[in-house]
């Protein structure tokens, strides 16, 4: 085993950061003497989350192009030049044996410099609709690891490897007991349980939906584990009761998934990959304000396999109760959705991505 050096670049959201950390952890397990450096965007969440995971990180002065004319767009060329110069310094000094990009603005300049320097690079695309940074880099990198079929419409077919998305290790073999998990949350082991996930920051629209329907859920004798997000917990913590448990953030997702009979969730790539492993009937409510509406496309990919139900935010008022009851009241449909979503799981994603990286080292 050589003493390798790896640069891993990606960030802006947890969907880019956590896969990057998972890949680093697996490479570190395989190569304990390897050196790692992360490269992210200054002032974004990776500058906090990556050091918490035990890795060094450098920040680039980079942001994306806004959809409307703003001062940030005027500054973009200057930021890009600055980031390319710093990326060149980072690559020249660190001399990586391989570079991995998991998406986000910072990975663009870093991988542009690395590929131009002849360093083998791997992209990891989490979504069913490729991000702009990865599309721009597609012709220069050695391999592109994807999570969905049909990605040839974005990337060269000979570079694509379907691996899936890295997920938390404790979910790969979900061993939590349902009754123990329900007792952990202070809930009744005899009642059906709905798990609500609006992402770590929470979803204003999903939170409002749940609050408006608490009496509806109660009429169904249904109890809730409700992750509302740290920005909303003060607004909704008063709803805590015997059958509603409000949390800013769920630190033990394995227990939350084990306790759930049904799940309502956003459809970011990481959430979708986790929920395939979990194999519970799920209603996706995609965020409509993400780049290129990729959450809707992620959910649609599962709906096409009869593996989930999707309700657009714009349809919630009209369709939520009807769609919810169509799942809740039909054991046959719940079992079918569970079976079909579980069939889409790719539990070896992190291992398979690292196998591709190791091929380039040789």
251 labelled ligand-binding: no
User: Could you give the CA distance from residue 217 to residue 213 in angstroms, rounded to a whole number?
Assistant: 6
Of 165, 149, 109, the C-alpha closest to 133 is 109
190 labelled ligand-binding: no
127 labelled ligand-binding: yes
131 labelled ligand-binding: no
117 labelled ligand-binding: no
295 labelled ligand-binding: yes
Give me the residues paired with residue 39 across strands: 9, 58
User: Could you give the CA distance from residue 3 to residue 351 in angstroms, rounded to a whole number?
Assistant: 19
What tokens were used for 47? Answer: 């500058």
User: Could you give the CA distance from residue 322 to residue 319 in angstroms, rounded to a whole number?
Assistant: 5
Q: Coil, strand, or helix at residue 320?
A: helix
Handedness of CA 214, 217, 221, 224 (dihedral sign): negative
Of 212, 287, 308, 11, the C-alpha closest to 131 is 11
63 labelled ligand-binding: no
Count Cβ atoms below 10 Å from residue 163 Cβ, excluding itself: 22
Q: H or E segment at 352?
A: helix 349-361
Beta strands in 61-197 (DSSP E): 98-101, 121-125, 143-146, 160-162, 192-197
What tokens were used for 122? Answer: 């791997």
Q: Which residues carry a binding-site annotation for UDP-N-acetyl-alpha-D-glucosamine? A: 13-15, 127, 168, 200, 295
Q: Which residues carry a binding-site annotation? A: 13-15, 127, 168, 200, 295
């Amino acid at each position: 085993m050589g003493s390798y050096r790896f640069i891993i670049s990606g960030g802006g959201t947890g969907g880019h950061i956590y896969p990057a950390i998972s890949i680093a952890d697996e490479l570190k397990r395989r190569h304990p003497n390897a050196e790692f450096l992360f490269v992210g965007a200054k002032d974004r969440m990776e500058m906090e989350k990556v050091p918490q995971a035990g890795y060094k990180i450098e920040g680039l002065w980079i942001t994306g192009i806004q959809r409307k004319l703003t001062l940030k767009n005027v500054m973009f060329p200057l930021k890009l030049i600055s980031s390319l110069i710093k990326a060149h310094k980072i690559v020249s000094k660190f001399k990586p044996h391989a570079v991995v990009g998991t998406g986000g603005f910072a990975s663009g300049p870093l991988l542009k410099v690395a590929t131009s320097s002849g360093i083998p690079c791997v992209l990891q695309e989490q979504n069913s609709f490729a991000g702009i940074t990865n599309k721009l880099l597609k012709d220069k990198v050695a391999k592109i690891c994807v999570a969905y079929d049909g990605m040839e419409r974005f990337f060269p077919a000979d570079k694509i490897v379907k691996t899936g998305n890295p997920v938390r290790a404790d979910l790969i073999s979900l061993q939590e007991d349902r009754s123990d998990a329900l007792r952990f949350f202070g809930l009744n082991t005899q009642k059906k349980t709905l798990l609500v996930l609006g992402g770590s920051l929470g979803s204003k629209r999903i939170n409002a939906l749940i609050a408006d329907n608490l009496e509806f859920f109660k009429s169904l004798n249904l109890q809730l584990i409700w992750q509302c997000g740290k920005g909303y917990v003060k607004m909704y913590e008063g709803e805590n009761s015997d059958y509603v448990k409000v949390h800013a953030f769920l630190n033990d997702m394995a227990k939350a998934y084990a306790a759930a009979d049904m799940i309502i969730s956003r459809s970011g790539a990481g959430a979708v990959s986790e929920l395939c492993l979990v194999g519970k009937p799920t209603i996706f409510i995609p965020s409509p304000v993400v780049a290129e509406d990729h959450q809707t496309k992620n959910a649609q990919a599962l709906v096409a396999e009869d593996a989930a139900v999707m309700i657009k935010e714009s349809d919630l008022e009209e369709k939520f109760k009807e769609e919810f009851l169509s799942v809740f009241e039909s054991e046959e449909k719940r079992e079918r959705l569970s079976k079909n979503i579980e069939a889409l799981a790719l539990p070896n994603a992190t291992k398979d991505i690292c196998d591709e990286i190791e091929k380039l080292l040789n």
